[in-house]
Structure 1
Amino acid sequence: MTYQLDHIAIGCTDLAQGVAWAEERLGVKMQAGGQHAHFGTHNRLLGLDDGLYLEVIAKNPDAPIDRPTWFDLDNFTGPPRLANWICRSDDVENAQAITGPPVSLTRDDLHWQLTVPDDGSLPMQGGYPSLLKWGAGITPPSGSLPASGVRLTKWEVWHPQADWLREAITLDSDVVCFQSGPIGFKATFETPNGTVVL
């Protein structure tokens, strides 16, 4: 199964703070997002070149829920930072032993399935992507957000099992690479103000 990179996410404890952090570094304004009632989160988005987008996401204090939220946001602390990567797949059940089961979700006129472990954690602590399947006939955010002039040129997944991930995951993307080391992410962007590394 071949995956396609759909979007990347910046996690934060406060959405306004996360948006300000991203805008200061990338030099552009984030665009409208919405709320995810099922998981009690809200977000803002940024259209990237090459059919990708960037999401800033946080728990919504006005939407408490009685289940674990996604993207491991229940355990997120500290300043805003790169928090997850999400890939499209025609078969979101293919790797659910790793990714968790697909959950059906809606936001405004969007509907999709996304794999989420039952405890809301990240697959392999973020080493393996969350898998997404957009609903039939849906135009995803990457196809509807206005252009920002920002391009993701490299997405680095750092993980002690980088070699295994490199062999296990087939990607239709030339920007993703796996690096051996402590778990984390590194993103390189070309922006109207030059190269930015997060």
Structure 2
Amino acid sequence: MKLQLDHIAVLGESLEEAVAHTEAAAGVPMLPGGAHERYGTHNQLLGLGGVYLEAIAIDPSAEPPGGPRWFGLDRFHGPARLDKWICRVSDMDAALAALPMAGRPVELARGRLRWIMAVPEDGLLPYDGVFPALIQWLSPVPAGAILSASGTRLEGLEVIHPQATELQALLAPWLDAPMVRFTTGAKPGLRAELRTPQGHPRVLQ
């Protein structure tokens, strides 16, 4: 069982804020995404060369879900920011047997895409939200492979937490994501290193 980096997510109080924050760092426009009826959210997407970036927020036009939204969006406040990283697994049952704190499996679909997401009962991921969300793609071609390359690349992802060493040790037996590194810091968060189509380094936080 391996955890491989699938995508990263910028959260916002509105999708417009999340998209603007993402585009300012990435240097390229995002592509249309879609709606997630199960959780009352919507998104836009950006291919980063092998992985992708998602801007996501509560959809004000959607019916409220019957329970907590994923990614802790019910409690998200403040400026848009890089807030989540999502790891791909090939067997969600095996992944949750190893890492039960990731949540429970929820099967989802949008258009031709089908996937299973591990979602905690309260919607809040461990380690103040910087524990990776887990996804298993059921579609023959996952979302990241469908997206056109934007020219902007993800070159590194830093996971910052006061207990970063503990989190790294917890994930180490399964994590296969060389560009991810863990840093001990007082304030939990994520920091992505990008390179634009013009070759300029950018930081997304």
TM-score by length of 1: 0.94
CA offsets 1:73-117 (integer angstroms, 9 cap, x no match): 001111110110100112322345311111111111111101110
Q: 5+ unaligned residues in a row in structure 2: which ranges?
A: none
Whether 2:102 is the aligned partner of 1:99: answer: yes
Q: Tell whether the 8 Å contact from 2:159 to 2:189 is kept in structure 1 after alignment.
A: yes
Aligned counterpart, 1:159 = 161
Residue range with higher mean Cα deviation, 120-129 or 175-184: 120-129
For 1:107 and 1:123, locate their aligned partners in 2 and report how far apart those are by CA, in whole Å. 27
Matched, 1:195 2:201: yes
- Gaps (5+ residues) in structure 1? none
**Cα gap change, 1:111/1:101 in structure 2, threshold over 3 Å: closer, same or farther?**
same
Partner in structure 1 of residue 182 of structure 2: 178
Name the counterpart of 2:127: 124
Letter in 1 for 2:153: R
Whole-Å Cα distance in 1 between the matches of residues 127 and 67 of structure 2? 20
Task: Tell me which amino acid in the other structure corresponds to 1:152.
Answer: L
Separation in structure 2 between the aligned mates of residue 176 and residue 81 of structure 1, nearest angstrom:
18
User: CA separation in 2, counterparts of 1:110 and 1:119?
Assistant: 25
The Cα of 1:174 is off from its aligned counterpart by: 1.4
Q: How much does 1:67 deviate?
A: 1.3
Task: Report how far residue 55 of structure 1 moved.
Answer: 0.1
Given the alignment of the two structures, is residue 16 of structure 1 paired with residue 16 of structure 2, yes or no? yes
Equivalent position of 2:85 in the other structure: 85
CA distance in 1, matches of 2:87, 2:58: 22
| Secondary structure at the counterpart of residue 163 of structure 1 | helix
Amino acid at match of 2:112: D
Q: Tell me which moved more, 89-98 or 78-87.
A: 89-98
Aligned-partner SS, 1:2: coil
In the TM superposition, residue 70 of structure 1 has moved relative to its aligned partner by 0.5
Alignment coverage as a number of residue pairs: 196
State the Cα deviation string for residues 151-191 of structure 1 (Å, max 9, x = none): 11110111122112222213222110011112111110011
- Range 94-103 or range 140-149, more displaced: 94-103
* 1:45–1:124 distance in 2 versus 1, CA, 3 Å: same
Contact 2:83 2:130 (C-alpha < 8 Å) held by counterparts = no
Residue 114 (structure 1) aligned to one of 117, 122, 140: 117
- The one-letter code sitting in structure 2 at the alignment partner of 1:32 is P
Q: Percent identity?
A: 47
Contact 2:12 2:18 in 1 (8 A): yes
Measured on the aligned residues, the alpha-carbon RMSD in Å equals 1.3
Instruction: Select between 95-104 and 78-87 the one with higher mean Cα deviation.
Output: 95-104
SS of alignment partner, residue 166 of structure 2: helix
Residue 69 of structure 2 aligns to a residue whose secondary structure is coil
Name the residue aligned to 2:60: 61
Q: How many angstroms apart in 2 are the aligned matches of 1:160 and 1:14?
A: 29
